Structure 1
Amino acid sequence: MMRRVKIRAAVGDDAEGVAAVRRAVYSYKSMSPASARHMITVSAPEERFLPLVAEVDDTVVAWGSAGLNVWTSEPGQSDLSIYVHPQHRKQGIGTALADRLHQHLTEVGAIRVRAFVHPDGLDFARNLGYDGTRRLHYAGVDVRSLPPQPQTPEGIELVTLDQVDPRQAYTADSIASLDEPSDSPLDAIAYDRWLEETWQSPGMDKALSVAAMAGDEMVCFTVIETDGDRAWSGMTGTIPSYRGRGLAKLVKSVALRRAAAAGITHAYTSNDDENGPMLAINNWLGYERVETELALLLTLAG
């Protein structure tokens, strides 16, 4: 007998189930239940964020979400995410989620949708009208075995993010994000939204995340998110006037050592094909590729 699939709006109490499905699909990404709850419950009203789950026998087996990208000045940009537990694929769950989410995005005025897929999901995405744009490579490293830590340059002080004012971090993040490889520029990041969605995210471990300070200015930083014995190296950024000095290599090296001391065994990260400098740093740290994802775009019918 075919088991009945129920698709409904996600709520905070779905966090454990969503985190479990995500871990089954993306072994190289970190998302604790606390972070999943934050993802489900915290969003800007103008984002028109719709989180969905699919259940079989009252167990969450899939996640779907979509919303407008409110961190870019380009109108009508949106993001969509769908992942289905490997044991529940080929049953129409992904298609049902996509139909609901595309309808929602059309209703809220989205023009273009961005999604990421594994190579084995490319045919599914193309059948929905998506086309390829970029590749992201995911890599992991055993943080208990790292190359020697670089020297700290004169005039630079290393601190953890729990020692800095969030305004300093916001300024550095906003500047460093302007030329991040992306389908839309990250040029409209409002402080209040950044504070709630990024700085206050329970996944960010500020005691492990490291920044390089030049006086009162944060000039480089790396963010560490944790989930059990795994860590995710999130954004690593340097403001343009301090690039080429080895600061990104330094802060990431220090942060990974702090993670190892805290009981983390493996850290994962992602790199766009276009981001050669960061790829070089991660190769030096010993990261080895574990997966590739494709960044896809869909233009919605007007």
Structure 2
Amino acid sequence: MSTRAVVRQAVGDDAEAVSAVRRAVYPYKAMSPAATRHMITVQTPEERFLPLVAERDGAIVAWGAAGLNLWTSEPGQSHLTIYVHPDHRKQGIGSELAARLHQHLTEVGAVRAKTFVHPDGLEFARNLGYDGTRQLHFSGLELTSLPAQPPTPDGIELVAYDSVDPRVHFEADTAAGLDEPSDTPMDAVPYDQWLEEIWNSPSLDKALSVGAMAGDEMVAFTSVETDGDRMWSGFTGTIPAYRGKGLSKLVKSVALRRAKAAGITSAYTSNDDENSPMLAINNWLGYRRVQTELCLLRTVDN
């Protein structure tokens, strides 16, 4: 008989095992062990990030994490993530992680928590006080054949991230993200924190990520994260003044071609139901839906 699971705070050396559990739960997401270690160990103190793992018989079988969202002007916003290996569900592990994490959010002054769940986890989440707001669709693409690459407009130069100053990408990233479908505006992103958590993350493949430059300004981009032979589209966007010119379609098409040439065989991405322009681009590229997740919110009791 298996022993009861023990919940403890995660450390960097848990990254390999956490990454394996994550892949078992989310085969359509790509996060390497190096990126997982970075997530556990590189945080801003003000975020009050608490990473937890559950161990059973010496093996990590679940992950939980929660912290404050410092990238918005709305105070008290927070995020919570829990996932349990399929072989260890319905044994109280998720409930124990949730209790620990909600208590932590109460202690650090959170007002509202956001989480994402599979449809089969909706009842569990609702029993914890969460309610639904939006749907997020995940799609996959095998890089065997791609549609013809769109032409590059006059005045636009395509570059890899490793050839640009990070501040240039930061300006484009934050401008394009202001009107992304969300329950909380991402309108207060600190550059130093973005640099450490996003730009310096081992998951960001700067050689495969593509930006469209108009002079010295990055006007469209697609960020590529890799894990072995898989890739994840972290964020694709165009700044408002350059929308309607097909630039997001162009940079994503170029990035997929470069990824295929580099030995990547599978690509994955996600889209909010409301983001019809990006859904159309991904459909044109050949992405096909593999999973749906629900974005849920809960008031945090203080």
CA distance in 2: counterparts of 1:113 and 1:243, whole angstroms: 32
In the other structure, the counterpart of 2:283 is 283
In the other structure, the counterpart of 2:139 is 139
In the other structure, the counterpart of 2:178 is 178
CA distance in 2: counterparts of 1:170 and 1:301, whole angstroms: 35
CA distance in 2: counterparts of 1:181 and 1:4, whole angstroms: 40
CA distance in 2: counterparts of 1:262 and 1:238, whole angstroms: 25
Instruction: Give the AA of the match of 2:189.
Output: I
Aligned residue pairs, count:
302
Deviation string 1:242-269 (CA, Å, 9 cap, x unpaired) is 0000000000000000000011111000
Structure 1: runs of 5+ lacking an equivalent: none
SS at 2:264 equivalent: coil
Instruction: Tell me whether 1:158 sits opposite 2:127 in the alignment.
Output: no
Deviating 4+ runs (over 3 angstroms)? none
CA distance in 2: counterparts of 1:60 and 1:164, whole angstroms: 39
SS at 1:182 equivalent: coil
Return the TM-score normalized by structure 2. Answer: 0.99
In the other structure, the counterpart of 1:34 is 34
Instruction: Tell me whether 1:249 sits opposite 2:240 in the alignment.
Output: no
Within 5 Å, which residues of 2 pair with 1:230-241?
230-241=230-241
Judge conservation of contact 2:2–2:57 (CA < 8 Å) in 1: no
Return the TM-score normalized by structure 1. Answer: 0.99
CA distance in 2: counterparts of 1:85 and 1:11, whole angstroms: 19
In the other structure, the counterpart of 1:217 is 217
**TM-fit CA distance, 1:301:** 2.0
CA distance in 1: counterparts of 2:221 and 2:59, whole angstroms: 39
Instruction: Tell me whether 1:10 sits opposite 2:10 in the alignment.
Output: yes
Instruction: Give the AA of the match of 2:74.
Output: E
Within 5 Å, which residues of 2 pair with 1:63-78?
63-78=63-78
Judge conservation of contact 2:162–2:207 (CA < 8 Å) in 1: yes
In the other structure, the counterpart of 1:292 is 292
SS at 1:63 equivalent: strand
In the other structure, the counterpart of 1:110 is 110
In the other structure, the counterpart of 2:97 is 97
In the other structure, the counterpart of 1:196 is 196
Instruction: Tell me whether 1:61 sits opposite 2:61 in the alignment.
Output: yes
In the other structure, the counterpart of 2:46 is 46
CA distance in 1: counterparts of 2:222 and 2:122, whole angstroms: 31
Query: Equivalent pairs: percent with the same residue?
Result: 74
CA distance in 2: counterparts of 1:172 and 1:56, whole angstroms: 44
**TM-fit CA distance, 1:216:** 0.2
Deviation string 1:39-82 (CA, Å, 9 cap, x unpaired) is 10011111000000000111110000000000000000000000
Provide the alpha-carbon RMSD of the alignment: 0.6
CA distance in 1: counterparts of 2:268 and 2:50, whole angstroms: 27
In the other structure, the counterpart of 1:227 is 227
